[in-house]
Amino acid sequence: MKPAPFDYVRADSVEGALSALAEQPEARVLAGGQSLIAMMNLRLLKPGCLIDINRLSELDYIRAEGDELAIGALTRHTAAATSPLVAEHCPLMTAAYGHIANRAVRNRGTVGGNLCHADPASENPAVAIASGATLVLTSLDGERRIAAEDFFLSLYETAAEQNELLTEIRIPKAPANQGWSFQEVSTRKGDFALVGVAATLDCPNGTCSDARVVAVGVGERAERLGAAETAIKGAVVDEAGLAAAAAAARDAVDPPSDFHADSEFRRDLVFTLTRRALGEAHGRCGKGG
Amino acid sequence: MDSVKIALTVNGRRHEREVEPRRLLSDFLREDLRLTGTHLACEHGVCGSCTILMNGQTARSCLTFAVMADGAEITTIEGLGSVENMHPLQAAFWEKHGLQCGFCTPGMLMSALELLRENPDASSEEIHQALAGNLCRCTGYQTIVEAVEAAAETMRGAER
Ligand SMILES: Cc1cc2nc3c(=O)[nH]c(=O)nc-3n(C[C@H](O)[C@H](O)[C@H](O)COP(=O)(O)OP(=O)(O)OC[C@H]3O[C@@H](n4cnc5c(N)ncnc54)[C@H](O)[C@@H]3O)c2cc1C
Ligand code: FES
Ligand code: FES
């Protein structure tokens, strides 16, 4: 099992990578390779050219900038998972990393590559949507910013054009009083989610003022579950409120059946994980992150 | 598709070679350098048998092109110890029957090595988690976890 031949370009600057991408319509970006090389080994993908961005240390950083957390696209999973800045300003991401892959994959895989790969069972797209992240896409024509919610289009498909490099993920710092939770069921620790649910919740005085609920493993992409959000907003967060929101979440999804879980089981998981996620998020509200 | 010149250090020895860009690091190690201790099963990242250390951190050699390891320091199972001079982890796997066919063992050892370097007091639960990305079809894992616990004890003792 070997990948098909390809031309190899090792970028030594962002500009160099962008020029190479513009010149080679067949080219793909090679980041950690933890999804791309697997697909090439299986010959599911045969790109004619790879632009290796692993030397672009200028894209490997985690910084607090004003009211945002800025994560360079080449930041390795291991660095993001253990970052005190991420734990402080986007604890939802730290929680999600409890479910993402294994150590060897996390050592090489990158936050940017993970988002661009857009696996529908992947956790970070849900984190990005739930925390209202903005993705920075750069090409020779300049820079554009897109809300995470608009970035994930379908299975392995994003709004990034072939000539664009994802350079940065910008996440609004989580308000100190906001609760969060990432709940997941998978067949083994570190496997992709059968179903995962990310939630954030604001609950200033017993009543929920705002919430986000995003599910993965339920369709072709990470899905924001507006019906569950509407159900919990303005409600008292007690058993009844949680159950109502969880039921709304379950009714909003139509997950696929596959070898690991059928659609009915996945819908049950959406119910249970939404209830748990909102419940845990509620328990964390007002505790100052 | 031109070959690319790379230079890297493997188990302390420097190598310079020309490789096709599509050459996987796993095949480079096994076929070009004849270091066949790194095992290959799934070749798409799920089994962990090909795990090596790249600049001190575990990596799947089947999910790394050799060109990406240009300039890197690689440690394979051959760099861990020898039959005459076994690493405490190797000795413990032997003692505790942490292997049967031995196919998964090189990857298990590399993952366990990274864990114990960072967390010498790893609990049984932490060992289970650290090895969750390494599959074994023989042992049922129990003896592997016991072996890592035993190695941790030896390694803690050696440091005192
Ligand atoms: C055994 C195993 C278990 C895993 N488990 C999980 C899991 O539980 N959850 C999970 O989310 N993931 C999991 N993964 C995938 C892992 O998170 C990958 O690291 C990630 O999906 C891809 O990141 P990468 O840096 O390796 O990207 P690559 O594989 O290099 O690239 C992936 C795709 O993104 C494109 N790309 C990469 N970077 C950029 C960029 N900056 N700009 C534009 N395009 C870019 C590439 O061209 C390619 O199409 C697992 C992988 C393995 C092998
Ligand atoms: S051979 Fe590399 S993970 Fe299975
Ligand atoms: S000992 Fe045979 S696969 Fe682990």
Secondary structure of chain A as H, E, C letters: CCCCCCEEEECCCHHHHHHHHHHCCCEEEECCCCCHHHHHHCCCCCCCEEEECCCCHHHCCEEEECCEEEEECCCEHHHHHHCHHHHHHCHHHHHHHCCCCCHHHHHHCEHHHHHHHCCCCCHHHHHHHHCCCEEEEEECCEEEEEEHHHHEEECCEECCCCCCEEEEEEEECCCCCCEEEEEEECCCCCCCCCEEEEEEEECCCCECCEEEEEEECCCCCCEECHHHHHHHCCCECCHHHHHHHHHHHHHHCCCCCCCCCCHHHHHHHHHHHHHHHHHHHHHHCCCCC
Span A62-116, pLDDT tens digits: 999 999 999 999 999 999 999 999 999 999 999 999 999 999 999 999 999 999 9
Domains along chain B? Answer: 4-79 (3.10.20.30), 88-159 (1.10.150.120)
Q: What is the mean pLDDT of residues A229-253?
A: 97
Q: What is the mean pLDDT of residues B154-158?
A: 91
Indicate the average pLDDT of chain B: 96
Residue A289 is predicted with a pLDDT of 41
The residues of chain A that CATH labels 3.30.43.10 are: 7-52
Q: Which residue is closest in CA terms to ligand 3's atom 3?
A: B136
User: Which chain B residue's Cα is nearest to A192?
Assistant: B46
Task: Inspect the interface and report whether the beta carbons of B67 and A52 lie closer than 8 Å.
Answer: yes
Of B155 and B1, more confident: B155
Candidates B19, B53, B58, B70, partner chain A, best to mutate (most A CBs within 10 A)? B58
CA dist A83 and A87 (Å) reads 6
Instruction: Name the amino acid, one letter, at A278.
Output: L
**Local confidence band at A190 (pLDDT 50, 70, 90 cut-offs):** confident
CA A36 to centroid of ligand 3, rounded, Å: 28
* Among A217, A273, A220, A221, CA closest to A249: A273
Residue A205 is predicted with a pLDDT of 83
The residues of chain A that CATH labels 3.30.465.10 are: 57-172
User: Which chain A residue's Cα is nearest to B24?
Assistant: A2
Indicate the average pLDDT of chain A: 96
Does any ligand 1 atom lie closer than 6 A to the CB of residue B45? yes
Residue A191 is predicted with a pLDDT of 86
Residue A107 is predicted with a pLDDT of 98
The residues of chain A that CATH labels 3.30.390.50 are: 179-284
User: CA geometry: angle at B50 spanning B47 and B56, to 5°?
Assistant: 120
The answer to whether B44 contacts chain A (CB < 8 Å) is yes
Chain A closest-CA separation from residue B28 CA (Å): 12
Chain A residues interacting with chain B (CB cutoff of 8 angstroms) = 1-8, 10, 30, 33-34, 37-38, 40-42, 50, 52, 54, 78, 101-105, 107-108, 188-190
Among A111, A114, A151, residue to substitute to test ligand 1 (most atoms within 8 Å of Cβ): A114
CATH of domain A57-172: 3.30.465.10
Residue B1 is predicted with a pLDDT of 65
Task: Inspect the interface and report whether the beta carbons of A103 and B60 lie closer than 8 Å.
Answer: no
**Local confidence band at A188 (pLDDT 50, 70, 90 cut-offs):** confident
Q: What is the mean pLDDT of residues A31-35?
A: 98
CA dist A197 and A275 (Å) reads 10
Q: What is the mean pLDDT of residues A52-62?
A: 98
Span B44-81, pLDDT tens digits: 999 999 999 999 999 999 999 999 999 999 999 999 99
Q: What is the mean pLDDT of residues A147-153?
A: 98
Chain A closest-CA separation from residue B67 CA (Å): 9
Of A7, A54, A101, the CB nearest to B68: A54
Task: Inspect the interface and report whether the beta carbons of A104 and B65 lie closer than 8 Å.
Answer: no
**Domain A7-52 architecture:** 2-Layer Sandwich (3.30)
Q: What is the mean pLDDT of residues A142-168?
A: 97
Q: Kindly tell me if the per-residue pLDDT of B129 is higher than 70.
A: yes
User: Which chain A residue's Cα is nearest to B48?
Assistant: A104
* Among A112, A159, A164, CA closest to A141: A164
Q: What percent of chain B has pLDDT over 90?
A: 96
Span B29-48, pLDDT tens digits: 999 999 999 999 999 999 99
Of A204 and B67, more confident: B67
Q: What is the mean pLDDT of residues A17-41?
A: 97
Q: What is the mean pLDDT of residues B102-123?
A: 98
* Cα distances (Å, whole numbers) of residue A282 to A200, A238, B5, B55: 9, 9, 56, 42
Class for the domain spanning A179-284: alpha beta
Residue B160 is predicted with a pLDDT of 59
CA A96 to centroid of ligand 2, rounded, Å: 24
